[in-house]
Structure 1
Amino acid sequence: MSRRLFLAGLLAAPLAARAETPPALLRPHVLLEGDTLRVSDLFDQAGPRGATPLAAAPLPGRRMVLEAQNLWNIARAHGVPWRPLTGQERAVVERPGRPVPRAEIEALLRAELTRHGMDEEMEMDLPGLIPPMIPGAAFYEMALEGVVLEQPSLRFAATLLVLADGMPAQRMRLVGRAAPTTPVVVATRRLALNEIIAPEDARLIRLRAERVRPGQAQQLEQVVGQELRRPMAVEQSFALVDLGPPSIVQRNALVTLLLDTPGLQLAVQGRAMRAAARGEAVTVMNLTSRSVVEGIAIAPGRVRVAMGSVPVSSTPLSATR
């Protein structure tokens, strides 16, 4: 029916009928909690037939639109004292809903795939998964049908069945792939050069095996208590090459050079040319002779040198015989 004929039909309606009953009011935006659309959902003062069902409500999270012609047909069929004035009236009917938590779907699928032979530490890829919608406060249950796990590709498929109050059963196809993971130690905060890593500075996570480079720390024991050889960002993984035992001699720090010989001990002040951990070799400048010798870091700020490495011109700070 064209808009002109539609409006002509409105004008032809008996005027006496308009005066007998107070007019109903259209609800342009309708929110449905139940699973049925009724006349009274569309109109205020719908009359004695307001409880009459009209149609099934939209699925949770969906909506439908009723245009002026549809609304007028409904009003006439059910004795509702309402008629369009412009022909542009409409009612948008929506049903609130909430998505099933994705984490619950993944947990259910993981448990079932584990029973089919998947390692429980594997990561699951579910491309394009949009969780189904259910009524806002409805009780719901989920189950899986036809679970298949292919070996060795680790591709899987299953059908998700969702049962919820106030809606028909929903079935959704789940297709994806499982991927092996490996443990990796990452930083929990920004770490500076030469920091000693405390237990709270690192945590263990699992990453897809193909994303983990060789030489990454995979146990907390490999990291905690070690000294960092370069700065680290939050969530960055630790490389073993960037870790080492804590330095007891710092670069450019003043140290004591010790020379032990039978019956003689010499101590000379020097400056370390680089940092060194206990037992590591370190080069030191003798501040008296300005010569450079190599020794072994034995304690904080103390370096033991071989007898042949001490310059003859060095003046001992202390000597005992």
Structure 2
Amino acid sequence: MNRTARTIASALIGAAMLGTSCLAGIGQAAAAAEGIPLILKQRVVVGGDGVRLSDLFANVPPESDGRIADSPAPGDRMVLGARQLFHYAKSFGLIWRPRDAKVYSEIVRDAAPVPPELIREALADALAREQLGDDFDIQLFNRDVPLLVATGERPTLQVRNLVFDPRSRRFDAAISLIGGESSPVIVNGRVEPMVSVPVLRTHAMPGDLIRQDDIQWQRVEARRAGPNTISRLEDLIGNTPRRPITAGQAIRTTDVLPNYVIAKGDLVTIVLKAGTMTLTASAEALQKGAVGEIIRVRNNQSRKVLETRVIGADTVTVATAQIASIN
């Protein structure tokens, strides 16, 4: 064989070997991809109502995945031992063996405590027949109520064996989840009757005039609202604090006083409007008065005493029937 023929033969042999090597590499890569080892998860938190093979093992091919068991109840756990895990893997055609008999996987159902407001709502419905009034709150004495529900679910609660004492307003009851597997839980607490009262939006100081825009309504415990607590807007509007008043607190009648714009002995102007005619006269105030109050004044010219209504600083008005007394 001449040199040219040997060169061509060597090139053909090299190309063939290179192709074989590439095919072998591809085959090994494919085999490695198919042979990714399963990795057992020792602790698993599941959120649904079923446990899948991919919950227990990492690297489970999608086509080999499937449901293997029901999830435990919310907050409960389930433990699968080595023999069960081996059985599940083998059933789905997956190659996995436990390293020893102590291997296990713990499965916990994702759960959250039942919100206290839902417990209060259920208790309020059950207490409605006790004639507690239109407005009341429920105070729970239990720091924690061990009722768990699957995360994201809104539970339906059932109240049984309710015992209510009208004198102390305390109650005891058993509450449970409808459709749940957990045992009923005993809860106890107190019913607080509530009332709505007007309070100030911001702090007020003596001399500040209280206007309607300064007031908002707030629910407070009825036992905190005594007989002297102001419950009407007209008892606040136009008044001024006798002492500093904190925003949001219930206000007593002794906390405010009228905003007097006329003092006893002040010179005031009597104003009377009759159609298009306006009459005025000068008078002396015989008593102090706030806007809207009725006070007596003495006409400086006729010396007659009139009952007038305060309409502003040093200004009063009279009824039409007393028009003759102005002059």
TM-score normalised over the length of structure 1: 0.58
- Taking a change above 3 Å as real, the CA distance of residues 245 and 92 of structure 1, as seen in their structure-2 partners, is farther
How far has the Cα of 1:249 moved from its partner?
A: 5.3
Corresponding position of 2:165: 150
Corresponding residue for 2:141? 127
* Residues in 2 aligned to 1:89 and 1:197: alpha-carbon distance in whole angstroms: 75
Q: Deviations over 1:46-99 (max 9, x none)?
A: 589864635x53443x36596xxx664444343364467899998664433344
Q: Distance between the aligned counterparts of 2:176 and 2:167, measured in 1? A: 27
Give the Cα–Cα distance (whole angstroms) in 2 for the partners of residues 249 and 44 of structure 1.
Answer: 87
Q: Deviations over 1:258-278 (max 9, x none)?
A: 79xxxxx899xxxxxxx9746
* Counterpart for residue 108 of structure 1: 122
Task: Give secondary structure in 1 for the equivalent of 2:231.
Answer: coil
The structure with the greater share of residues assigned to helix is: 2
Let me know the Cα RMSD of the aligned residues: 4.6
Q: CA deviation at 1:191?
A: 2.6
Matched, 1:241 2:254: yes
Give the total of aligned pairs. Answer: 249
Give the corresponding residue for 1:76: 86
**Partner amino acid, structure 2, of 1:76:** F
Whole-angstrom CA distance in 2 between matches of 1:245 and 1:142: 52
* Structure 1 residue 232 displacement after superposition: 2.5
Are positions 1:184 and 2:197 aligned together?
A: yes
Q: 1:42 aligns with which of 40, 56, 62?
A: 56
Which residue of 185, 190, 203 corresponds with 1:172? 185
Distance (whole Å) between structure 2 residues aligned to residue 214 and residue 71 of structure 1: 69
Answer whether contact 1:30 1:91 (CA < 8 A) is retained.
yes
What do the CA deviations read for 1:182-225 (whole angstroms, capped 9, x no partner)? 44332222334322222232233343344345532122332123
Q: Structure 1 residue 131: deviation in Å?
A: 6.9
User: Does the 8 A contact of 2:82 with 2:104 survive in 1?
Assistant: no
1:136 pairs with 151, 168, 174, which one?
A: 151
Q: For residue 174 of structure 1, what is the amino acid of its counterpart?
A: V
Letter in 2 for 1:124: I
User: In the alignment, is the contact (CA less than 8 A) between 1:198 and 1:225 conserved in 2?
Assistant: yes
The letter for the 1-side match of 2:44 is: V
The amino acid across from 1:178 in the alignment is V
Per-residue deviation, 1:170:
5.4
Cα distance between partner residues in 2 of 1:258 and 1:77: 103
Are 2:217 and 1:204 aligned? yes
The 1:83/1:193 distance shift into structure 2, 3 A limit, reads farther
SS at match of 1:218: coil
Maintained 8 Å contact 1:199/1:224: yes
SS of the aligned residue for 1:111 comes to helix
* Amino acid aligned to 1:156: F
The one-letter code matched in structure 1 to 2:160 is E
Identity rate, percent: 21
How far 1:229 moved relative to its partner? Answer: 2.8
CA distance in 1, matches of 2:260, 2:242: 10
CA distance in 1, matches of 2:219, 2:153: 35
SS at match of 1:238: coil
Aligned to 1:307: none
- 2-side partners of 1:217 and 1:171: how far apart? 44
Offset of residue 299 of structure 1? 7.2
Structure 2 gap segments, 5+ residues each: 1-33, 270-281, 296-308, 317-327
**What does the per-residue CA deviation read over 1:90-120, in whole Å, with 9 as the maximum and x for residues that have no partner?**
8664433344443333223212212133334
Gaps of 5+ in 1: 1-19, 260-264, 268-274, 282-296, 305-321
2:229 to 213, 216, 239: 216
Equivalents in 2 of 1:133, 1:98: separation in Å?
Answer: 5
How far, CA to CA, are the matches of 1:302 and 1:127 in structure 2?
58
The within-5 A match list for 1:41-60 is 41-45=55-59, 51=66, 53=68, 57-60=71-74
